Amino acid sequence: MAEAQLAGDAPARAAEPETPATRELTYLEAISEALREEMRRDETVLCIGEDIGAFGGAFKVTDGFYEEFGAGRVIDAPLAENAIIGTAVGAAIEGLRPVCEMQFADFISCGFDQLVNVAAKLHYRQGVAVPIVVRLPSGGGFSGGPFHSQNPEAWFLQAPGLKVVAPATPADAKGLLVSAIRDPNPVCFLEHKGLYRTVRGEVPEGEHTVPLGKARVAREGSELTVIAYGSSVHLALRAAEELGADIEVIDLRSLCPLDADAVLASVRKTSKVLVAHEATRSCGVGAEVAALIAAEAFEHLDAPVRRLTAPDVPIPFSPPLEREVLPQLDDMKEACDELLRY
């Protein structure tokens, strides 16, 4: 380097990184774009699920895919989730990258054996990669009742070998889905149905990835931390704005692996914590986060860790009863206010 400078060559100047172009998409459009772009980029990526072909999927995520990619890569399956995931596992072992759609996350129970006892275990047992993604439209808020509104993420946190992600924004929905498809492990990809068409945001055009296992600071603050994911992130952000308080919001994004460093760093900064999610309370993500904080940051707390979740009951059909069961904005504001005043 010194000789080059003596000879009169100026050191090369690093090029300024280009800011990727963005445009506003809905949460659903971002998921659809990620899937379409990965299928164009990599011919081993395929989709399999119920009504995803000519019909375009129950929520129209795969609308137009059948015409572009054909029946060999957009596979309409019968009402048999165990067969869908089992077929995907076999295809993955042979070098393909299947993306399975469960019409509703609730129906994953019918495919539980193939996902938890086969896909999640093959690498440990035989050293075989199983690069499948299982898309899980989850959550309530639309009067879908007890069979179409569940948040089943906690089921999969107990199964070593599975990764579990739950994006809250369109940009993360695209970036995390791309990363999930490219990951060599089976990934459960939770998509909150209530966000599909109600949430819009700037999404980078073209190549865009978000690493699995990394949380993001959705809002900076110093008086209180709200740790959330999925729909609860938006409740937390609205509550912080309406309260006018110095609240930090951590969007977990990835539930397994969990970004413990981001959680603990925020707790040590604010000393007060609210853990919020739409799923029921028992043995869920909130319980794990609360245990982590108690074990690793107890001496930094100025108040007990508080949790805001749905109660351990099925989600009702009735809109007023559903609103009573699921966390609402007023519930989030009340929980934040109580902690701030503690």
CB 263 within 8 A of CB 226: no
Distance CA 136, CA 23 (A): 25
- Residue 202: its H or E element: strand 200-204
Six token digits for residue 187: 């990934």
Query: In whole angstroms, what separates CA 281 from the centre of its chain?
Result: 18
Tokens of 327: 């966390």
- What is the distance between the alpha carbons of residues 290 and 278, in angstroms, rounded to a whole number? 16
Q: What is the dihedral of CA 31, 220, 154, 27, to 10 degrees?
A: -20
Cα four-point dihedral sign 163, 168, 171, 174? positive
The token pair at 121 is 């275990």
Within 8 A by CB and 6+ apart from 325, the residues are 140, 310, 311, 313, 315, 316
| DSSP 8-state assignment for residue 56 | -
Say whether 208 is catalytic: no
Out of 123, 148, 208, 277, pick the active-site residue.
Answer: 148
Burial letters 279-305, b for 16+ CB under 10 A, else e: bbeeebbbbbbbebbeeebeeebeeeb
In Å, what is the CA distance from 53 to each residue of 68, 110, 236?
Answer: 11, 21, 37
Supply the residues annotated as catalytic: 148
